Amino acid sequence: MSDIEVIKKEIEEQIAKAEDAKALDDVRVLALGKKGRVTELLKTLGAMPMEERIEFGKKINVVKAELETLIANKKQELETKLLNEKLKKEVIDVTLPCRPEVQGRIHPVSKVYEEIVAIFAEMGFSVAEGPDIEDQFHNFNALNMPPNHPARQMQDTFYINSDATKEFDMDTACVVRTHTSGVQIRTMEKQQPPIRIIAPGRTYRSDYDATHTPMFHQVEGLVIDKKTTMADLKGCLYDFMKAFFEVDDLPVRYRPSYFPFTEPSAEMDIGCLKTKEELKIGAGTDWLEVLGCGMVHPNVLRAGGIDPDEYQGFAFGMGTDRLAMLKYGIPDLRTFFESDIRWIKYYGFTPLDFSSMTSGLSNNGGLAR
Ligand code: PHE
């Protein structure tokens, strides 16, 4: 065996024996580094006669290339081995049950939000969003409530100074939105009909008792097309309520009402039985108000850049927290936002029971209690 073959064989053995990246790199330096054995051989070329030099040079280069490939392959092999060992050590047994004492809960507001989205998604609605801090144009003006409109007073608005370096100025002040209806305008600004959206979100009014908190949640709905009518509004909301309360023959009624941004306007009530001990949805002779709705006012369409001679539609707005109270029998709204761990353990839902129209909406079995 010639020198070069002996050297090659020895290096191959060293590569095979290398147990980690460091050992392998040492072998590489010893063989191919500046003073490595193969490099040293290359240096002897200069002293050789021309013909030998060409032949030997070729040989060394072939050996060099082969060793380089061997080292690269070994490197890959070592890395894979390391990764596999790591994965083995960090394995998680996903079949183990959760430990109930460390398991979080889904808040009833989140649960109801998921349920509402699941139902409206099935009806072809998409979800739109708007900012919590809103300008007066989107919260009021564009909704047919110009400055000094009496309806502005109805809403106990929190105003925010829009420029902290200046005195408060009512004309330029922003608001924390008093309702999600501003998202109607924001949607129309972005999109031409057909429109079919719901807009869930936080809303704010200066109010505090068992059924009112300064921050609460609403879901807005908006449908605009060429021939959308009050009958579509009634059918859509009726189907929604039946699905949401999971009651097939739910009694509902619409009462005439007033909102500046809809004409005609109505409020929807659902039938229930109120006793001292309980509230039963769907039976009995009592009525509960659940939402406001109506046909979008032509002025609102115009403010959103939509031609009221061509398009018409309906809108509705409901209090999500209120729906959660009714569906899950929670008596006091204030407790929703007190972050009391005992409350959430009692009224919350287990995280694995998410709502869908096929697997079940509320998964009552998923109630934590
Ligand atoms: N924005 C109204 C409220 O907060 C609800 C509503 C929305 C009524 C859309 C009609 C149409 O009370």
For a pocket test of ligand 1, which of 134, 154, 175, 181 has the largest count of ligand atoms closer than 8 A to its C-beta?
181
Report which ligand 1 atom has the smallest distance to the Cα of 222: 9
Is the CB of 316 inside a 6 Å radius of any atom of ligand 1?
Answer: yes
Query: 218: CA distance to ligand 1 center in Å?
Result: 9
Contact 233, 313 (CB under 8 A): no
By CB neighbour count within 10 A (0-12 exposed, 13-18 middle, 19+ buried), where does 141 fall?
middle
Query: 298: CA distance to ligand 1 center in Å?
Result: 16
- Side-by-side strand order, sheet with 159-160: 133-135, 174-176, 159-160
Is the pLDDT at 51 greater than 70? The verdict is yes
Percent of the chain residues past pLDDT 70, beyond the cut: 95
Task: Specify the pLDDT at position 100.
Answer: 64
Per residue in 299-343, pLDDT (tens digit) is 999 999 999 999 999 999 999 998 998 888 888 888 999 989 899
Task: Specify the pLDDT at position 69.
Answer: 94
Confidence at 365, pLDDT banded by 50, 70, 90: very low
Residue bearing the bigger pLDDT, 212 or 144 = 144
CA 107 to the chain's CA centroid: 15
Average pLDDT over residues 267-280: 84
Cα dist from 205 to 209, 288, 330, whole Å: 12, 21, 21
Residue bearing the bigger pLDDT, 125 or 361 = 125
Is the pLDDT at 368 greater than 60? The verdict is no
Per residue in 224-260, pLDDT (tens digit) is 999 999 999 999 999 999 999 998 889 999 999 999 9
Is the pLDDT at 214 greater than 90? The verdict is yes
Is the CB of 293 inside a 6 Å radius of any atom of ligand 1?
Answer: yes
CATH number 3.30.930.10 is the correct assignment for the domain at 108-347: yes
Is the pLDDT at 35 greater than 70? The verdict is yes
Task: Specify the pLDDT at position 154.
Answer: 67
Query: 292: CA distance to ligand 1 center in Å?
Result: 5
Query: Residue 241 is encoded by which pair of tokens?
Result: 């309520």
Max mean pLDDT range (29-33, 104-108, 117-121, 211-215): 117-121
Confidence at 1, pLDDT banded by 50, 70, 90: low
Is the pLDDT at 20 greater than 60? The verdict is yes
User: Nearest CA to 157 among 166, 147, 165?
Assistant: 147
Is the CB of 317 inside a 6 Å radius of any atom of ligand 1?
Answer: yes
Closest residue by Cα to atom 7, ligand 1, is 317
- HEC states along the chain? CCHHHHHHHHHHHHHHHCCCHHHHHHHHHHHHCCCCHHHHHHHHHHHCCHHHHHHHHHHHHHHHHHHHHHHHHHHHHHHHHHHHHHHHHCCCCCCCCCCHHHCCCECHHHHHHHHHHHHHHHCCCEECCCCCEEEHHHHCHHHCCCCCCCHHHHCCCCEECCCCCCCCCCCCCEEECCCCCHHHHHHHHHCCCCEEEEEEEEEECCCCECCECCEEEEEEEEEEECCCCHHHHHHHHHHHHHHHHCCCCCCEEEEEEEECCEEEEEEEEEEEEECCCCEEECCCCEEEEEEEEEEECHHHHHHCCCCCCCCEEEEEEEEHHHHHHHHHCCCCHHHHHCCCHHHHHHHCECCCCCCECCCECCCHHHECC
Neighbours of 258 (CB within 10 A): 14
Is the pLDDT at 353 greater than 90? The verdict is no
Q: Considering the chain, what is the average pLDDT of its residues?
A: 90
Torsion of CA 237, 239, 241, 244, to 10 degrees: -130
Task: Specify the pLDDT at position 252.
Answer: 93
Neighbours of 125 (CB within 10 A): 21
Separation between Cα atoms, residue 295 and residue 233, nearest integer Å: 8
Confidence at 366, pLDDT banded by 50, 70, 90: very low
Per residue in 289-303, pLDDT (tens digit) is 899 999 999 999 999
Percent of the chain residues past pLDDT 90, beyond the cut: 61
CA 102 to the chain's CA centroid: 23
Is the pLDDT at 83 greater than 50? The verdict is yes
Average pLDDT over residues 118-128: 96
Confidence at 86, pLDDT banded by 50, 70, 90: very high
Is the CB of 271 inside a 6 Å radius of any atom of ligand 1?
Answer: no
Instruction: For the chain, give every domain's residue range.
Output: 3-89, 108-347
Is the CB of 181 inside a 6 Å radius of any atom of ligand 1?
Answer: yes
Average pLDDT over residues 49-72: 90
Query: 316: CA distance to ligand 1 center in Å?
Result: 6
Residue type, 57: G
Query: 70: CA distance to ligand 1 center in Å?
Result: 73
Per residue in 92-104, pLDDT (tens digit) is 888 887 666 666 8
By CB neighbour count within 10 A (0-12 exposed, 13-18 middle, 19+ buried), where does 175 fall?
buried
Is the pLDDT at 105 greater than 70? The verdict is yes
Closest residue by Cα to atom 5, ligand 1, is 317
Query: 135: CA distance to ligand 1 center in Å?
Result: 17
Query: 258: CA distance to ligand 1 center in Å?
Result: 10
Is the CB of 292 inside a 6 Å radius of any atom of ligand 1?
Answer: yes
Max mean pLDDT range (47-56, 106-115, 355-364): 106-115
Is the CB of 294 inside a 6 Å radius of any atom of ligand 1?
Answer: yes
Query: 263: CA distance to ligand 1 center in Å?
Result: 12
Average pLDDT over residues 149-160: 83
